[in-house]
Amino acid sequence: MAPNTWERKDLLGLEGLSASEIETILDLAASFKLSPPKDLLKGRTVAFIFTEASTRTRSSFEMAAKRLGADVLSFSPVGSSLSKGETLLDTFLNLQAVGVTHFVVRHERSGVLEDLAPLLKASVINAGDGWHEHPTQALLDLLTLRERWGSFKGKKVVILGDIRHSRVARSNLFALKKLGAKVVFCGPTPLCPDDFAGLGAEVEHNPAKALKNADAVNVLRLQIERMDQGFVSSLADYAQAYQLTPARVELMKPEALVMHPGPINRGVELSSEVADGPRSVILEQVANGVLARMAVLALSEEGRSLA
Amino acid sequence: MPEQLIVVNGLVIDPKSKIEAVRDVLIEDGKISAVAAGLSRKSAFKGVPAIDAKGKWVIPGLVDMHVHLREPGREGDETIETGTKAAARGGVTTVLAMPNTEPVCDSPSQLAFLQAKARSDAAVTVLFAGAVTLGQKGEKLTEFAKLRAAGAAALSDDGRPLMNAGLLRRALEHANDLGLLVIDHCEDLTLSNGACVHEGPAALRKGLKGTPGAAETVQVLRDIALAELTGARLHIAHVSSAASVDAIRAAKKKGIRVSAEAAPHHFSLCDKDIPGYDANWKMNPPLRGNDDRAALLEGLADGTLDAIATDHAPHGCTAKAAGMDVAPFGVIGLETSLAVAINDLFHKKILTPRKLVERLSTAPAGLLGLKKKGTLSVGADADLVVVDPNMVWTPEPPFVSKSRNTPFINRRLKGRAITTLSGGRVVHAL
């Protein structure tokens, strides 16, 4: 267990965290891999509020909560009072009154938790808000990279795909920059606008240039609905220009890693050959997700009890 | 005996009569009857009630050509009564109310209702704009001649852009024949596309949908082309982007009869100032980049932007608490426009006092054809503000307005309306 100095009850994003706070989370997650903790959250109740579909994140969080000995309360917005027009804050306050100590929330709206979390005694963990942040996904990505690299200093990480609509890209950018890595955003301009340079990313629309000498690439899922408004003209056209193919993998450093937050559209943003190939650490990411989320839940419990 | 009031020893600033000097202003029966030095010392005016304006500015009341008073339909957010009281507190003595009420002001009977309400409830002069299209749907023109006969002071579909260029052309032609000003909200909906903030790094950082300045500018350029085609006057509401300012400047140089306004929030704040997801900073067009803000200041300085108008848009707390992406657009401004203008334009040396009064009062009165407003010349309506340009204050709720949705809460401002007269009556006094 890390020293008892974690003062944040919530984890809404990585932008506001310091490098050493991020390292603390990663250290704790790594320590859980060696010696699984028991009952850190015994007697606590973790509620899941997901207004968007999720398989991976939700099951990973549930597993993390159960491994820490917490009770788990499932909650589906369909058929709940949220669908009857109750405000999100009222829903949280009621569930808190029921005894919930930790909320794990996925919501389709960016920033929806920022004003809400300070009004609650319970911890609020962001499991993805709109296009804004997905901090635990970035933490598990970092954990996976750090296991291989030891340090992020001087590493080049390419994030490839639909950056504009990606909370994974933003959380990774904020954290990787703090830890000393260089981040290159790559995708077609409509999905990867040059204004991202204002956030500290290097923006490169040509995948060959972006991938050259990279240490890792994180490939983002292309959502089908992006074809509606001209963001891409077709999946096949996108794949032609930006799919991570074996030939494009060859442009990276020989030991470079391939990541994907899932779920994969095989043959669109990622070729099956690469997804299942020797560089792929995609399933390691998933396994590390449970550890990263255990660390976040455990630390937020510390922060909550200090508050 | 006429009803008399005298405002003494103030620095009278009236661009229209080219006065910027210490003068006394005599008011008789709601009109300005004399402006001269030492009037109050004359025996004829002994015993006349006096307002001491020593060390203060005395300026014509502000003419705000862009406000939303929400009556009828949303009286919980604002009414003609509360909106005009808010105006009085801010030194605004004439407002032009936009027609996007519920129902829309698109018929003579709607106008008659509003004017009756204004006669009984309003603290300052209220003028009403009629809609350009029925229900502001952008499909069929309203009856301009009938609207003018019923007292419409201008025409606008504000809040909604006129996406149909052919229809706007006909509207400009008819309005020009009748001497009515068309005020256009310039926004290409296919570019703004449901965005809630300005497109750029600040929006990307928060994961919010942004709209580029070009969403406004393409419509401004189209409008200028139509003003040139028709020869009609056209006024562009709430200009927000640098490229729009450039386009308007070039059009004016060419002699095209286009005019424009800027809102205090746009020339005072930019997208990077927005704290988190606070919808009290959300309006349409949105707060843009700092370069855009700088261009608005230049436009105000060189007269490309004729007028300052608030786009006062009250919304209740519950609606605004819904968050940046889904809360309604709009901020209130009547109680802070003069203060923000003095703070950001006069104290920061963008405008001289005379230019400031031109933008706030003289020019908008001229655009609306109001001969007795926007000036302190003899015979004009006694709409007048005593201003302390150096008083420091911070706007905070409660406001006179029924709503409190403004980004200027707790912002330190230097400059304030001390006393406001509307038609010679004191409608605000600190």
**In the numeric block, which tokens belong to residue B176?**
């020009």
**Which residues, listed in sequence order, are joined to residue B182 by a DSSP beta bridge?**
B155, B234
pLDDT mean across residues, chain B: 97
The tens digit of pLDDT for each residue in B96-153 reads 999 999 999 999 999 999 999 999 999 999 999 999 999 999 999 999 999 999 999 9
Q: Which residues of B touch A229 (CB under 8 A)?
A: 193
The answer to whether B183 and B155 have CB atoms below 8 angstroms apart is yes
- B124: CB partners within 8 A, 6+ apart: B61, B84, B87, B88, B92, B93, B94, B95, B383, B420, B422, B427
The answer to whether A223 and A165 have CB atoms below 8 angstroms apart is yes
- Measuring CA to CA, which residue among B192, B139, B146, B178 is closest to residue B162? B139
Q: Which residues of B touch A115 (CB under 8 A)?
A: 276-278, 323
- B109: CB partners within 8 A, 6+ apart: none
Domain extent listing, chain B: 60-367
Task: Report strand pairing: B258-262 vs B307-308.
Answer: parallel
Query: How far does the CA of residue B30 sit from the closest CA of chain A (Å)?
Result: 50
The answer to whether B344 and B73 have CB atoms below 8 angstroms apart is no
The active-site residue out of B64, B77, B292, B311 is B311
- Nearest by CB: B325 against A15, A109, A195: A109
- B52: CB partners within 8 A, 6+ apart: B8, B9
Q: What is the complex's ipTM, to 2 decimals?
A: 0.91
- Measuring CA to CA, which residue among A302, A238, A292, A296 is closest to residue A265? A238
- Nearest by CB: B201 against A109, A111, A198: A198
The answer to whether A190 and A230 have CB atoms below 8 angstroms apart is yes
pLDDT (average), residues A50-59: 89
The answer to whether the Cβ–Cβ distance between A111 and B193 falls below 8 Å is no
The answer to whether A163 and A220 have CB atoms below 8 angstroms apart is yes
Please classify residue B349 by burial: count the beta carbons closer than 10 Å to its beta carbon, then call 0-12 exposed, 13-18 middle and 19+ buried: exposed
What is the C-alpha separation between B50 and B66, in angstroms, rounded? Answer: 33
Task: Report strand pairing: B4-14 vs B19-28.
Answer: antiparallel
Q: Which residues of A touch B325 (CB under 8 A)?
A: 109-111, 130
Query: How far does the CA of residue B67 sit from the closest CA of chain A (Å)?
Result: 30
Q: Which residues of B touch A164 (CB under 8 A)?
A: 204
Mutation pick from B189, B198, B206, B288 vs chain A, by most beta carbons of A within 10 Å, is: B206
Q: Residue A299: is its pLDDT beyond 70?
A: yes
Angle between helices B290-302 and B242-253 (to 10 degrees): 30
For the whole model, what pTM was predicted?
A: 0.94
The tens digit of pLDDT for each residue in B70-105 reads 999 999 999 999 999 999 999 999 999 999 999 999
The answer to whether the Cβ–Cβ distance between A199 and B201 falls below 8 Å is yes
The answer to whether B90 and B67 have CB atoms below 8 angstroms apart is no
The answer to whether B106 and B66 have CB atoms below 8 angstroms apart is no
Q: In B321-424, at which residue ranges do the beta strands (DSSP E only) sit?
A: 384-393, 413-422
- Measuring CA to CA, which residue among B179, B91, B107 is closest to residue B143? B107
Q: Among all residues of chain B, which has the CA nearest to that of A128? A: B207
**pLDDT band, very low/low/confident/very high, at B2 (cuts 50, 70, 90):** confident
Query: How far does the CA of residue B209 sit from the closest CA of chain A (Å)?
Result: 9
The answer to whether the Cβ–Cβ distance between B323 and A129 falls below 8 Å is no
**In the numeric block, which tokens belong to residue A261?**
């937050």
The tens digit of pLDDT for each residue in A107-132 reads 999 999 999 999 999 999 999 999 99
Residue B271 annotated as catalytic? no
**pLDDT band, very low/low/confident/very high, at A36 (cuts 50, 70, 90):** confident
pLDDT (average), residues B17-33: 97
Q: For the domain bounded by B60-367, which CATH number is listed?
A: 3.20.20.140
DSSP-assigned letters across all residues of B266-309: HHH--GGG--TT-GGG--SSPP--HHHHHHHHHHHHHTSS-EE-
The tens digit of pLDDT for each residue in A228-284 reads 788 999 999 999 999 999 999 999 999 999 999 999 999 999 999 999 999 999 999
pLDDT (average), residues B280-309: 98
- pLDDT for res A1: 46
Q: Which domains does chain A have, with CATH numbers?
A: 19-133+289-306 (3.40.50.1370), 135-286 (3.40.50.1370)
The tens digit of pLDDT for each residue in B5-23 reads 999 999 999 999 999 999 9
